[in-house]
Structure 1
Amino acid sequence: MLSFKDTLPTCLGVIKRRENMKSALRFIKFKVSVEQYLEGLFLHVKVDGTECSDETTSTIKVEHPYFPLEDEKSQFSKICYRLHSTLILCFAYGQVSSEFANMVVAFGDMEAMTAASFVLLTNLVHLVKLYCFIFQRTKVQNLINSINREEFKPKNSDDCNILLKDINRSKRITKSFWLMCFMVCLLFAIFPLLDKSQSEGIRLPLGGWYPFNTNESPVFQIVYVYQILATYVNGIRNISIDTFISGVIMVISGQLSLLNNEFQTINAKQQDFGHNQVEIRKLLLRNVLHYKSIITFTDDVTTLFSTCLISQFVVSVVIICMTMFQLSLVPVLSLQFLSMAMYQACMLLEIFLWCYYGNEVILKSTNLTMSAYRCGWVEFSKEFKQDLLFFMTRTQFPLKLYAGGYFTLSLDTFMAILKSSWSYFAMLNTVHSKEIV
């Protein structure tokens, strides 16, 4: 008989062997096919799950010509991906270079420096994220493929409903995020055309230094279009990566929901097993293997995206501070104020999503102890009770995702970022007020 201790992750040893467990449940046959856009580099992820009487099968496929699979044979797909990646990097490096040079030119002018810094910092952290996705593309692909592991597959209609709910929520968040990005770029584009306060005429949408005169036609029009296009492309790429990372964190949260549901329904399933204590114990061991897979997947996500998370958290403190300072300098009823406010909302939303779903992982992993306790263990065998006790001991340590091994993805961290940003804004506003006087 397989010992429960052999199945516990990290603290109770390594699995010596794995039993081939086949569910005796009889489910209603149905097929569900859902398309989800986890927007990391426009990943087209199709989730296809099929439930039948004796087995459960599901697959997750990534289908997009700009993100070819490792076994992709089409040279056209590989060429398209390389061209797509090159174009993204050109836009990113080009905009960062002009903004950095503008920061150097404006050095000493607080208003000009803060106006240039918040977009510059956003694009700098965007380059860090691009590194993780483009130069670690194989690891990202392996992470996506690991979602197809046997333990993560839905086992009944309740599991599918839980996953479908998360998928639909992810799609709504992504679409809302994209709409906000489009509105910000649109307002950045039209504000200079409608701004009557500038005596020198129409100005460029964003600050930037270029080694040529941008006031002459058609150079001005070309740079104008370039800035808007580069801002939109970089914004979409940034949002794509952010929603992808929040999507994989949502996978962890969803799997913990499935595991909580499995423990809560063990007592109801014992009738299907005919009160067979051996089969019921196998069901417990299957749940333990599921928990071990969740821990492994969480470690992979933390290792792969730790650099993205820590860089975004640190830079967000400065970006939110600078954006609030710029909001304090412009009229409230102006298009510039509206565009800056929406930009601030995007900055807040991207870190809020990570912190919110990271907090959900903590809460749901903590609830595993109570879900296991409510499984109706009183009527089960002594071996089952001992195994359950070991599992409940392990779940006393909730799962957490870390940014750089220091910041925990939680709502407390989100509030700490806001408090720090407000403190720096208050200090910056005080210094600026003294300079004016």
Structure 2
Amino acid sequence: MIEIPQFNLVVKAMTLNLQMSRIDRINNLLNDPIFAAKTKKDEEMLLETIKTSHRLVKYMKISIVLAGAFWSTSLLAKRYQDPTAVVYIYTPFDTVSWTGYFFSVMMEILPLPWIGCGHLAIDCLIATYYAQAEVQLKIIKYNLEHLFDADGGMDGAFYRGRIFYMDELDRDLRTRFVHYFERYEAVAWYTKEVSDIFNHALGFEFFSSSAVLCMVTFKMSYTPMFSLAFAFFTVMLGVLLMQVFLYCYFGNMVQYESDSIMTSVYLSDWLSASPQFRRDLLVAMLRWSKDITPRVSGIIPLSLATYVSVLKSAYSLFAVLSTKH
């Protein structure tokens, strides 16, 4: 069962190393002034995303430590209950004694921290990239919604019988509007580039996750519930579910925030803008009507619906194995 996660990690690592120049470009874009915070509210949203990423890494680390502890303890408990129990790996020494058996257990669980930390680093990296796209869309949406807010609470002004619109009173308003339009275009390119870079890694992740989830669930079905082995499989199941959920959740949030960009314009005080500025808004809204949807292989959207489909596929495989068993 552990061979599939190992090969999955190799695919991710190869993708990361072979696409390093493209990854440098998206990292440079994240440091570009176009993605910088302009207001205090922007800073708050960016800081909240950073805190979310840190919590995510923390929970994944705890899961890896728990999985290693439960696995090693379950193997030792198995030997305590059955003196003839062995670990099914090749060892260049005798495992009849407790010392030999202990070292064989260490050899068995040794790949787990390497595999777990490798998946942790790359999975959290990809999820953070999508989280950055999400928060940038949030910033754009919030600022478009408050684009026509007047500091003095005035929607316009009358002078000598003429109406002055907000874009005439505030000469920087059009500049801010153009900035957020260009920022959206940068987010669209950034999201597509992230999806293209990790396309093969995510494709194999979705393909292999169904098989591994099926095997873990199948082993749990005939493992005593109140045992260390069952606890290990439970933690492993949680980690596997979290891996796929990360991609689908943040991909779904990017699509959701992209869909609501146009709504933010409707919620703004756009009536206080001049007719010419309103025409510019309509042109921009035509562009924003095409949402940003992260996809795998250009076909499968990273969404919660896709996550449910992966779980259904894993359950279908589990049902077939259970019938055969």
TM-score by length of 1: 0.67
Is 2:58 aligned against 1:165? no
**Preserved contact between residue 167 and residue 274 of structure 2 (Cα < 8 Å):** no
Measured in 1, the distance between the counterparts of 2:96 and 2:18 equals: 39
- Provide the rounded CA distance (Å) in 1 between the counterparts of 2:319 and 2:9: 27
Distance 1:350 1:122 in 2: 11
Query: How far 1:148 sits from its partner (Å)?
Result: 0.8
| 1:250 corresponds to which of 131, 150, 153 | 131
Shift of 1:341: 0.7
Distance in 2, Cα, partners of 1:371 & 1:399: 16
SS at match of 1:262: helix
Q: Measure, in 1, the Cα distance between the counterparts of 2:27 and 2:104.
A: 39
Amino acid in structure 2 at the alignment position of 1:382: P
Task: After TM superposition, give the deviation of residue 396 of structure 1 in Å.
Answer: 1.5
For these two proteins, the number of residue pairs brought into alignment is 312
Q: Distance in 2 between matches of 1:214 and 1:313?
A: 40
- For residues 325-370 of structure 1, what are the alpha-carbon distances to aligned partners after superposition, in whole Å with 9 as ceiling and x for unaligned? 0000110000000100100000000110110111101110000010
Q: List runs of 5+ in structure 2 lacking aligned partners.
A: 154-165
- Bigger shift: 195-204 or 390-399? 195-204
1:328 paired with 2:233, answer no
Residue 215 (structure 1) shift: 3.0
Give the Cα–Cα distance (whole angstroms) in 2 for the partners of residues 203 and 358 of structure 1. 44
Report the structure, 1 or 2, having the larger helix content.
Answer: 2
2:157 alignment counterpart: none
State the partner residue of 1:230. 111
* Aligned match of 1:182: 65
TM-superposition CA deviations, 1:32-69 (whole Å, max 9, x none): xxxxxxxxxxxxxxxxxxxxxxxxxxxxxxxxxxxxxx
Superposition deviation, residue 388 in structure 1: 0.6
Instruction: Write the letter of the residue equivalent to 1:299.
Output: K
* Aligned residue runs from structure 1 range 187-226, under 5 A: 187-195=70-78, 199-204=82-87, 207-208=88-89, 210=90, 212=92, 215=95, 220-226=101-107
Partner of 2:7: 124
Counterpart of 1:396 in structure 2 is 289
1:260 to 141, 145, 159: 141
Task: Return the alpha-carbon distance in structure 2 between the equivalents of residues 201 and 398 of structure 1.
Answer: 61
Q: 1:221: how far off? A: 4.5
C-alpha displacement at 1:140, in angstroms? 2.5
AA at the equivalent of 1:315? S
How far does residue 408 in structure 1 lie from its aligned partner after superposition? Answer: 0.7
Counterpart CA distance in 1 for 2:186 and 2:67 is 40
- 1:383 is matched with 276
Deviation at 1:275, TM superposition (A): 4.6
Match of 2:305 in 1: 412
For 1:215, give the aligned amino acid. T
The Cα shift of 1:119 comes to 1.6
Provide Cα deviations, 1:262-294, integer angstroms capped at 9, x if missing partner. 101112157598853643222211110110110
Pairing 1:146-165 to 2, within 5 Å after superposition: 146-165=29-48
- The change in CA–CA distance for 1:320 and 1:133 in structure 2 (over 3 A counts) is same
Q: Is the 2:254–2:292 contact (alpha carbons within 8 Å) kept by the matching residues of 1?
A: yes
Greater RCO (CA < 8 Å, at least 6 residues apart) = 2
Q: Tell me, yes or no, if structure 1 residue 143 matches structure 2 residue 30.
A: no
Q: TM-score, normalised by structure 2?
A: 0.90
Is there any run of 5+ residues in structure 1 with no aligned partner, and where? 1-117, 433-437
Any idea what SS the aligned residue of 1:399 has? coil
Residues 178-206 of structure 1: CA deviation (Å, up to 9, x unaligned): 101110011111111112586453533xx
Q: Is the 8 A contact 2:211 2:314 kept in 1?
A: yes
Q: Cα RMSD between the aligned structures?
A: 2.1
Q: Which amino acid aligns with 1:294?
A: V
Once residues 395 and 141 of structure 1 are traced to their aligned partners in structure 2, the CA distance between those partners, rounded to angstroms, is 27
**Residue type of the alignment partner of 2:304:** L
Task: State the distance in 2 between where 1:366 and 1:347 align.
Answer: 29
Using the TM superposition, give the Cα deviation of residue 216 of structure 1 relative to its aligned residue in structure 2, in angstroms.
6.1
- How do residues 311-390 of structure 1 correspond to structure 2 at under 5 angstroms? 311-390=204-283
